[in-house]
């Protein structure tokens, strides 16, 4: 059985909810990622959402806000999605497809140990499976 841990990219970085979006953008650049899970220090550093490079552009900059003044936690919406490290890859696909998300944190023993992206999924699917996955995640 191929698990979430088998296909994830290890070593994902967190950013605190109170940190600014310009700092998030710098971290994304430095770690060459397009998303960061956001932790809430007021709730045992639990994940309260994910901030993406697109969130910064669309919800902050394009809306006329200053990324040096907007906090990561301000853009976190809804319930953060994640998957247990031991979950089967079919569960990963269901979670990503069902919620139309492109990145999925991987949790083991209540700690985030990695992130699954579309690229991680693509490396482990047949062409037909990948086409079906893309259609479901991007269905509008």
pLDDT at 140 over 70: no
3-state SS class at 133:
helix
Between CA 85 and CA 108 the distance in angstroms is: 5
Residue spans of the domains in the chain: they are 4-138
| Neighbouring residues of 98: CB distance < 8 A, sequence distance ≥ 6 | none
Query: pLDDT tens digit string along 40-93?
Result: 877 777 888 899 999 999 999 999 999 999 999 999 877 788 999 999 988 998
Contact status, residue 81 vs residue 99, Cβ threshold 8 Å: yes
Q: Is the pTM of this model over 0.85?
A: no
Q: Identify the CATH homologous superfamily for domain 4-138.
A: CBS-domain (3.10.580.10)
């Amino acid at each position: 059985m191929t698990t979430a841990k088998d296909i994830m990219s290890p070593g994902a970085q967190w950013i605190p909810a109170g940190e600014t979006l310009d700092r998030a953008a710098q971290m994304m650049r430095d770690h060459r990622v397009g998303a960061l899970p956001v932790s809430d220090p007021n709730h045992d550093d639990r994940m309260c959402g994910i901030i993406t490079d697109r969130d910064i552009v669309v919800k902050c900059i394009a809306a006329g806000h200053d990324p040096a003044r907007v906090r990561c936690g301000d853009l976190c919406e809804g319930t953060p999605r994640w998957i247990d490290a031991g979950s089967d890859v079919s569960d990963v696909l269901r979670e990503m497809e069902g919620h139309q998300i492109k990145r999925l944190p991987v949790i083991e023993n209540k700690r985030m140990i990695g992130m699954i992206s579309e690229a991680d999924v693509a490396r482990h699917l047949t062409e037909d499976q990948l086409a079906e996955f893309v259609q479901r995640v991007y269905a509008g």
